[in-house]
Amino acid sequence: MSKLRAVIVALLGATLLLAMPDAASAQRGGRERREDRRERREDRRERREDRREAREDRRDRRDDRRDRRDGRVVVVAPTPPRAGVVVTAPTPPRASIVVAPPTPPRASIVVTPPRAPRIVVRQAPPRPRVVVRPPPPRTEAVWVEGYWQWNGAQYVWVDGHWDQPRVGYVWVDARWEVQNGQWVFYEGHWQAVAR
């Protein structure tokens, strides 16, 4: 009987030992749980990023619809992802013929007011180049500064030059300004002097 009891106790002990997880398997289970949590966090992060991109896409589509409705032509230039570029152009003016008496021969300069911003870029322009001005062709010549121009894919430098002065006007250089996190280009123009 005592032998039988010893065998039963031994079998029960072995069964209990087999049922209990060892320390190595417990550590593996903990590692797997941590890895699962890490993967779930990464999945949530990716879903948030996807939702953010979808919101930006909806905003861009809405802006495109608004531009088409307002009569502006919209061209999306090829750029790296998330660095979109929108170039807008005003609608062309209607052609008209005006018959007027001839004007006496006299030099005149027609100055148009600056146009609305035409180029909007998400990428900042490079720093302006430091350029040594050539000597002016005339003593009264006005220097027109060079500037970075966006060609739809990258910035291209446009050299400065001397221009003929215009009586009653001052030259306003071309410039890039930040508006709502985007760079807006304003062309250089002659501006009337306030009197």
- Give the Cα separation of 76 and 84 in Å (integer): 7
* Number of domains present in the structure of the chain: 2
Q: How far is CA 195 from the centre of its chain?
A: 40
Residue 99 lies in a domain: no
**Cβ 75 vs Cβ 64: under 8 Å:** no
Q: Is residue 129 part of a domain?
A: yes
Same structural domain for residues 53 and 131?
no
**176 with 184: CB under 8 angstroms?**
yes
pLDDT digits (tens, 9 = 90+) for 108-134: 454 555 555 568 888 889 988 888 889
Residue-wise pLDDT for 32-43, tens only, equals: 888 889 899 988
- Whole domain around residue 40: which residue ranges? 1-71
Residue 94 inside a domain? The answer is no
Tens-digit pLDDT profile for residues 13-59 = 666 555 555 555 666 678 888 888 989 998 898 899 888 888 888 88
Residue 130 lies in a domain: yes
C-alpha 34: how far from chain center? 38
Alpha carbons 186 and 118: distance in angstroms, whole number = 7
Backbone phi and psi for residue 66, each to the nearest 5 degrees, phi listed first: -65, -40
**Taking the complete model, does pTM exceed 0.85, yes or no?**
no
Residue 193, in any domain of the structure = yes
